[in-house]
Structure 1
Amino acid sequence: MNGNSTEWWRNSVIYQIYPRSFCDANGDGIGDLPGITQKLDYVKSLGVDAIWISPFFKSPMVDFGYDVADYRDVDPIFGNLQDFDCLIEAAHARGLKVIIDQILSHTSDQHPWFEESRCSRDNPKADWYVWQDPKADGNPPNNWVSVFGGGSWRWCTRRRQYYLANFLKEQPDLNVHNPEVQAQLLADMKFWLDRGVDGFRLDAVNFIFHQQALSDNPPRPLKLDKKGLPPVNHYDYQWHKNDKSQPENLVFLQRVRQLMDQYPGTVTVGEVGDDNTHKIMADYTTEQRLHMAYSFDLLTEDCSAQFLRETLEKNRAVIEKGWPCWSISNHDVPRSITRWNHGLSLELAQKRAPLFLLMQLVLRGSVCLYQGEELGLAEADIAFEDLVDPYGINLWPEFKGRDGCRTPMPWTDSADQAGFTSGKPWLPISQSHRNLAVNLQQDSQHSMLNQFRALIEWHRQLPQSLATAQQEVLDTGNDLLVFVRRADKEVYLVALNLGTTEESYALPQEFFGAEDITPGLFAMELRENTLVLPAAGAGVLRNSN
């Protein structure tokens, strides 16, 4: 849609590939880079603009690649640097951009930097991580807690100090206040840019800096669940004012942007998780920082029209020139077809999946589509003995972790392991996913796969002017999500029925006689300037000025 080649990312559709679970080329049960390369024709057939590949760096895999032991090498389970170069070449030959995950806030405790840093208090990398003396009574320096459960401070017997670990104890936080660390991280990003990557998805981007004074986080009023119980994870008991989202982040992200600008057409997308995500997204995507950012606001269980109206309006009110990237599923949360359809019939749930893709495609911003969404995959049910995610193991049974959204892609329904591997898969294949395998949907006109393809193609045909058109959400007070996009020469009205019954909407006068450009797979009726939408129905109207 965007004619500016250096800003291809505006209104782009990015397809997230979780490499462990996409395709296994060597039969060891774990997906790999050659497996991705084998499936690039499939990815291209979706009509997406780019792929984002979750971490494949050398790692002990305690957090499945988000604990990096070498920023410049491929872990052997995924292949090698030559395999990556082949993937880049094959993707570019098909017109696909390649974005890779980059983790700037922490490393593995097996990274050579940390191995050296923890040896003593006076070695060359002694200050490359966040170290602090204990309190007089031996307790940690403050009350910060880990995202994955437990305290954020871990004791090191060699240095007789605590080190900061905002996630797992095997993921020590880098001290990015140190200029040497900043320079090294930028050099490691340059290494991949020189190999031809088109950008980076920056993991937990607002965790890069911590408050140097190490002040306690204030308590947070507890939000009780439906049973009247407080949160399962004690991370939710604090306002995280001091352990992330620090002002130094903004300065460092400008340095990241300066590096990216040396490689025209490359892009950064940041993952933002905080209490005030819209303001942070705005700050992080303006003043020559990140190109775009996404938050966890649409990765929650609430997808009501009222919640989406409030979320989109909060975003519009602050982001202005910044750029959101809308994601409703990824490798960290239950799949959207399960998460957003509690209590609904399978038939209605399947009808709503294309509706939510349409919503993402016509919002101001870009789209991130997680592998398997195009097949309509639901969250897999994983037995405790099959869990591998430490997050879920730590908080079982109230929280089952992230394995249910990470199970292997089903390629062929009748093949062993659904065509994912010839060996034993690292996570079990969901039997319910076999019925949704790619081969079964490939040639079926009305399959979820081909509905997603049709929607993405419809989106590609929209005028370039829509990419940066302004957006206004209209308060209908019912289950309709309605918003208007205003470009220089066109104005669009989008109405989506998120309820379970028919809804009507009286059109504003400026849309009387407007052109109906609704994708053909959605039901909609126009009765005397009133839109009538069944459950999961949608209407898109265009009026030329």
Structure 2
Amino acid sequence: MTIDYTWWKDASIYQIWPASYKDSNGDGIGDIPGIISELDYIKDLGVDIIWLSPMYKSPMEDMGYDISDYEDINPDFGTLQDMQDLIDGCHTRGLKIICDLVVNHTSSEHEWFKESRSSLDSPKRDWYIWKKPKYDAEGNRQPPNNWMSYFSGSAWEYDETTGEYYLRLFAKGQPDLNWENEECRKAIYDSALKFWLDRGVDGFRIDVAGFYSKDQSFGDAPIFFKDQIYQPSKSLTSNGPRIHEFHKEMTREVISKYDVMTVGEMCHWNKEEALKYVGASRKEMNMMFIFDLVELGCENSDRFLYSHWNLLDFKNAVQNQSDFIKGSDAWSTVFIENHDQPRCVTRFGNDKKHHAASAKLLAMLQTTLTGTLFIYQGQEIGMTNLPKSWSIEEYKDVYTTNYYKEFVKKYENEPDFEDKKSKLMDVINLVARDHSRSPVQWSAARYGGFSTVEPWTQVNDNYPEINVKLQQHNPDSVLRFYQQSLKLRKQYKDLFIYGSFEILDYDNEKVFTYVKESGSDVLPKAYVVLNFSGDKVEFTPLIKGDFKLVSSNVMESEFEQSSLSPFEGRIYIVE
């Protein structure tokens, strides 16, 4: 088998959320100079690429995903020169850097939108999606259709200036750009892509990459929630009629002219539709994120409609991710955390009784799966979800806070409201986006060494026990284990990065065992066994061969050949 070794396929990528990484100037907000100060730490971790979440100028209604100027930096984060220093600092160390490409929408503070909303005959009126109101039988003004915002309520916002609604699938201050307008698309390419590629950025993570093409009928969405006015509009606002045309044009006109990578945020798609975006011959995107694993137990249209998962569900999600590229010319991604997801050690491990073991277990899983690996800041030290004692007032994320307000409005007069609210808070405490956005815990100093003043959002209470400084000096720490696991991934990259994947114990509800193979009769196999339970279980190899242990998350003195301790994992090379 001939393997196509490409730099972005081999890579391990480290995502940074600027506001929460490191504060260099004592204002309580992470910034670009703070990131620069830790580039050697990132390099020593063993990753190859930094993915920087939005650092652009923004009013921060949605934490930077509402961009008011693609060609400038949010003053809280630094300056254009700081950003250039970060790009150059990465390259000096042999690292690459990719940025978020957010071009489904801008901020309502962007000059394009200010001009668009100024009058009905503005030259940029058609750069956004405007529609006239509807009126009900009583003459009350209503939105143009029943589309629901992904952040709750209507997806349409009324604008008094011109008496029309603009589409905003997300927050009020995030009007959707009109990709049907060619002049608008060209401006996007120049301002959001070329500007940064010419400054040395090595690619993009493309935000909501399936949303640019909307069904131009703008009809009502099908009724999914019978007790709600506004309905999920995915069938009309994503994977639209011109979406592949737009991606091909963006690649042809801009991306193909640089040696860069792209990865799309695509959420949930069936395999046939997904491959249209990332098949190599399609020339659209290099790869995409598949959300089956990270959103396990969550309803696709509403993450706070949550049910529990078991290990069989978990195996199915990993299998779907691994099967994605079979029989195709596509490439895959591996991830279990990002800025929109809770902490994996809380979600899929045991962050209380078996914190270090389960954090390392998840590292073993991630570093042995096929595809480009993405690690999120703090994951490498096993950062956990925020305390369950947090009240809703302590959450910052617009998605969570809007959802909670709508929930209260809907149920506050019902007799079982307090019980429903308590159950919702349990789910928020488990899957809200805020959990990944708390400041990185650098040391046991006040505020976790993130800042010298109170941060923009609270540091997790457990920073004295879980922090970088403590783990850097502990050879048995989660951080050291990640460093070792990333080295092992590269050492056996034909198996781990490029190899096939086969689950051996699908029906086992406690242990996850799989084999990785390179497709060569000459090379050995990798045998991975992971105990996802808090119980001690028997260990008997499920295949024959000469087993050489290359990684274990328990100390040698505690290792028992014939059994696995709680959350113990092992990686063998089998001849």
What TM-score do you get using the length of structure 1 for normalisation? 0.89
The percentage of counterpart residues that share the same residue type is: 34
SS of equivalent residue, structure 1 residue 95: coil
Question: Alpha-carbon deviation of 1:18?
Answer: 0.6
Question: Alpha-carbon deviation of 1:454?
Answer: 1.4
1:313 and 1:234 map into 2 onto residues whose CA distance is 37
Aligned residue in 2 for 1:149: 152
Aligned residue in 2 for 1:432: 462
Structure 2 counterparts to residues 391-402 of structure 1, below 5 A: 391-396=399-404, 398=424, 400=428, 401-402=432-433
**Do the aligned residues in 2 keep the contact of 1:281 with 1:322 (CA within 8 Å)?**
no
The number of residues matched between the two structures is 521
Matched, 1:252 2:246: yes
Matched, 1:417 2:447: yes
Aligned residue in 1 for 2:9: 10
Matched, 1:494 2:528: yes
Aligned residue in 2 for 1:374: 380
Counterpart selection for 2:485 from 419, 431, 455: 455
Residue by residue over 1:200-222, the C-alpha shift from the partner in whole angstroms, topping out at 9 and shown as x without a partner, is 11112122221111132223378
Q: Structure 1 stretch 374-383 or stretch 171-180: which is displaced more?
A: 374-383
Residue by residue over 1:399-421, the C-alpha shift from the partner in whole angstroms, topping out at 9 and shown as x without a partner, is 5443332111121213x322212
Aligned residue in 1 for 2:256: 261
SS of equivalent residue, structure 1 residue 418: helix
Give the letter aligned to residue 208 of structure 1.
Y
Give the letter aligned to residue 164 of structure 1.
L
Q: Structure 1 stretch 461-470 or stretch 439-448: which is displaced more?
A: 461-470
**Do the aligned residues in 1 keep the contact of 2:290 with 2:321 (CA within 8 Å)?**
no
1:280 and 1:339 map into 2 onto residues whose CA distance is 29
Residue by residue over 1:271-321, the C-alpha shift from the partner in whole angstroms, topping out at 9 and shown as x without a partner, is 1223x3655543321112211111332223556331132223334444333
Aligned residue in 2 for 1:171: 174
Structure 2 counterparts to residues 24-63 of structure 1, below 5 A: 24-63=23-62
1:139 and 1:324 map into 2 onto residues whose CA distance is 43
**Do the aligned residues in 2 keep the contact of 1:301 with 1:340 (CA within 8 Å)?**
no
2:331 and 2:51 map into 1 onto residues whose CA distance is 18
1:43 and 1:426 map into 2 onto residues whose CA distance is 23
Matched, 1:536 2:539: no
Aligned residue in 2 for 1:122: 121
Aligned residue in 1 for 2:209: 205
Structure 2 counterparts to residues 101-120 of structure 1, below 5 A: 101-120=100-119
1:525/1:59 CA distance change after superposition, 3 Å: same
Matched, 1:193 2:224: no
Question: Alpha-carbon deviation of 1:353?
Answer: 1.2
Residue by residue over 1:492-542, the C-alpha shift from the partner in whole angstroms, topping out at 9 and shown as x without a partner, is 33222222334456655xx42234243143587666xxxx53332233344
Question: Alpha-carbon deviation of 1:446?
Answer: 0.7
1:24/1:124 CA distance change after superposition, 3 Å: same
Structure 2 stretches lacking a partner, 5+ long: 298-308, 405-420
Structure 2 counterparts to residues 309-348 of structure 1, below 5 A: 309-320=315-326, 321-341=329-349, 344=350, 346-348=352-354
Question: Alpha-carbon deviation of 1:486?
Answer: 2.7
What TM-score do you get using the length of structure 2 for normalisation? 0.84
Structure 1 stretches lacking a partner, 5+ long: 223-229
Aligned residue in 1 for 2:277: 284
Give the letter aligned to residue 410 of structure 1.
Q
1:183/1:299 CA distance change after superposition, 3 Å: same
Q: Structure 1 stretch 136-145 or stretch 115-124: which is displaced more?
A: 136-145
1:280/1:234 CA distance change after superposition, 3 Å: farther
Q: Structure 1 stretch 310-319 or stretch 447-456: which is displaced more?
A: 310-319
SS of equivalent residue, structure 1 residue 306: helix
**Do the aligned residues in 2 keep the contact of 1:337 with 1:377 (CA within 8 Å)?**
yes
**Do the aligned residues in 2 keep the contact of 1:308 with 1:481 (CA within 8 Å)?**
no
**Do the aligned residues in 2 keep the contact of 1:272 with 1:280 (CA within 8 Å)?**
no
RMSD of aligned alpha carbons: 2.6
**Do the aligned residues in 1 keep the contact of 2:489 with 2:496 (CA within 8 Å)?**
no
